[in-house]
Amino acid sequence: MGFLFLAVQIRMGVSIGMALLGVDTDAIQEAMHFADQAMYRAKRAGRNTWRFHGESLASRC
């Protein structure tokens, strides 16, 4: 699936990593780092998916 842009077929996917400020950490930079780590775990899991930083949060979804 995708879309045409200037007569070129474009396909995109998304991998999302999430960390919760105030739950995982109170520091913004550390939350960004945790979210980045979670994003790379999502990519390793097969792409086009999402992961929370804390495994306990993932089990609630």
CA dist., res. 28 & res. 60, Å (int): 24
Q: What pLDDT score does 45 carry?
A: 93
Domain ranges (residues) in the chain: 15-58
Average pLDDT by stretches of 10, the chain with 61 residues: 88 93 94 96 92 69 48
C-alpha–C-alpha distance, residues 40 and 54, integer Å: 14
pLDDT at 18: 96
Polymer length of the chain: 61
Amino acid of residue 47: R
Long-range residue pairs from 19-23, CB within 8 A, at least 24 positions apart, any chain? 19/52, 19/53, 19/54, 20/52, 20/53, 20/54, 20/57, 23/54, 23/57
